[in-house]
Amino acid sequence: MTSINKKQKLAIHHYGTPLLIIAGAGSGKTTVITLKIQHLIQEMGFPGDSILAITFTNKAANEMQERVMQLINREEGVPKVSTFHAFCLECLFLYYGRVGLEKNFIILDTSDQKRILKRISEALGLSDTQYSIPFLMQQIETIKNNLIQIDRAGHGVDTKVADVFTRYEAELKKLNAIDFGDMLKKTHELFKQNPDILERIHSQYKYILVDEYQDTNVVQYQLVYLIARK
């Protein structure tokens, strides 16, 4: 077994209540999560496919998946190891119609976003200095990450940015497209507005582990809260 210290062992064997681990880079957080998955399956009898492990980058997800597969017997079931975005995208592929998308919706890349925003900015006559395309992209990302409702009074967003956002969203709808931020935002909408779908998630996953959690990201927090609520 991988060498672990007393606090790591406590985390691996902790059960019954939420647990937050705060530790620096290279201190063994991912090791704790992979060994905890092994413990849940082999010592506590959890089916592998009842465990969901979420991390932030594809690289981290792939590394964790490889390490988990080295520790468990595949016949015990395979845990779901994914990034936030990949997990959410799978949900949207299954339930696209529930969030106003059509089948075969597209995902915009950065260059697509820039072209759309440039067109909107020019149509509104915005200053390239004050409302540059990178600035507008960052503002849109912030709006989506913080689940800000532009159509409600007191949203606290610059009026011109709000106008750009409204037109940008209309353009995405016309294209049957989503951007990177929509993967999380629309999945949050999906879970909030469709209790039956959230219940399926609750029924599937009995233990949720999150690695490299961004505690300043509202939509990530809300997604974890909804998934783990039961």
What global pTM score does this model have? 0.90
> Among residues of the chain, what percentage have pLDDT more than 90?
75
Q: What is the mean pLDDT of the chain?
A: 92
DSSP 8-state assignment for residue 72? S
State how far the Cα of 165 lies from the Cα of 143, in Å rounded to an integer.
9
Q: Say if residues 12 and 35 touch (Cβ distance below 8 Å).
A: yes
In DSSP terms, which residues pair with 201 in a beta bridge? none
Is residue 216 pLDDT above 80, yes or no?
no
Report the candidate in 26, 27, 23, 35 with the shortest Cα–Cα distance to residue 67: 35
State how far the Cα of 62 lies from the Cα of 141, in Å rounded to an integer.
25
Chain CA centroid to CA 42, Å = 28
Is residue 207 pLDDT above 90, yes or no?
yes
- First and final C-alpha spacing in the chain: 32
